[in-house]
Amino acid sequence: MTYDLRRRRNTLRLRDPACAGLENLSGFEAALAAGWPPDPRRAGDQAYIRGELQRLRQDKSKFLDDLNLGDRQRTVSASPLTVLLFWIWDREFCGSINLRFHQGTEELPPEVSGHVGYSVVPWKQRSGRATAALGLLLDVAAKQGLTRLVVLCDEDNDASRRVIERNGGQFFMRGPHPSDRPERTKLYFWLHPAPAA
Ligand SMILES: CC(C)(COP(=O)(O)OP(=O)(O)OC[C@H]1O[C@@H](n2cnc3c(N)ncnc32)[C@H](O)[C@@H]1OP(=O)(O)O)[C@@H](O)C(=O)NCCC(=O)NCCS
């Protein structure tokens, strides 16, 4: 590790895209233009990335509205799933992270691959940003009353695995997930948000 994680934690923040506003959408646009997929499962899917960029350039306000899932809920397995989306921010756009859960329970339906998803733009990777962002998201989860999260990564995703482990992730299972192709082996971890003070 060649960076100061404590300093990174102090300088990084999670921003609600709605509050960041249109004037800060340019970093997201630049990331898409450089080929960054906001959804990590769509890495390399150029049609998806180009489509997102086109949608953003057509109507920035609408794109931002759609992005900002905020307290909005989408229905999964017949019950509303809350998705809290944040931009990872260090004076500019670094990537995104989200927390998804059903109110009042720590159970997740099979369509949802864990409570957390994150992605950092390639030119800002390997400097502690994802590790710090996940630490900040644990505080958000604690405020939502969640005491135990399930977080998954692909077996060969060493970076994501390190991010989870550095935040106290406890490995408990290896195997596929119903939301992904059966040949993709995932590592499953528990993460424990500290209770809100
Ligand atoms: C996974 C990801 C978010 C990590 O972001 P990041 O900001 O580079 O992570 P950090 O800088 O906090 O690095 C955490 C650890 O992973 C290591 N790491 C980062 N990139 C790595 C890589 N490509 N290969 C191996 N280790 C890597 C870092 O060295 C660090 O290790 P350390 O704790 O021993 O110092 C980023 O690689 C990414 O966006 N990947 C594509 C999307 C993705 O896979 N998302 C996760 C889905 S589960």
CA dist., res. 197 & res. 183, Å (int): 42
132 CA closest ligand 1 atom index: 12
Task: For residue 55, report the distance from its CA to the centre of ligand 1, in Å.
Answer: 28
The position carrying tokens 């306000």 is 61
Task: Compute the distance between CA of residue 41 and CA of residue 49 in angstroms, rounded to an integer.
Answer: 12
Summarize pLDDT for 26-85 with one digit per residue, the tens. Answer: 999 999 999 999 998 899 999 999 999 999 999 999 999 888 755 566 666 667 889 999
Ligand 1 center–CA 119 separation, angstroms: 9
Report residue 122 as tokens. 């390639």
Instruction: For residue 108, list its beta bridge partners.
Output: none
CATH class of 5-146: alpha beta
Phi first, then psi, for residue 171 (nearest 5°) are: -65, 130
pLDDT of residue 94: 97
- Which residue CA neighbors atom 45 of ligand 1 most closely? 119
Residue 193 falls in which region: left (phi positive, over 0), alpha (psi -120 to 50) or beta: beta
Domain ranges across the chain: 5-146
Locate 30 and state its tokens: 């630049």
Protein residue with its CA nearest to atom 1 in ligand 1: 160
pLDDT of residue 2: 65
Of 150, 139, 161, 154, which Cα lies nearest the Cα of 100? 150
| Residues 35, 8 contacting (CB under 8 angstroms) | no
Band of residue 10 on the pLDDT scale cut at 50, 70, 90: confident
Residue minimizing CA distance to atom 12 of ligand 1: 128
Q: Could you give the CA distance from residue 154 to residue 150 in angstroms, rounded to a whole number?
A: 14
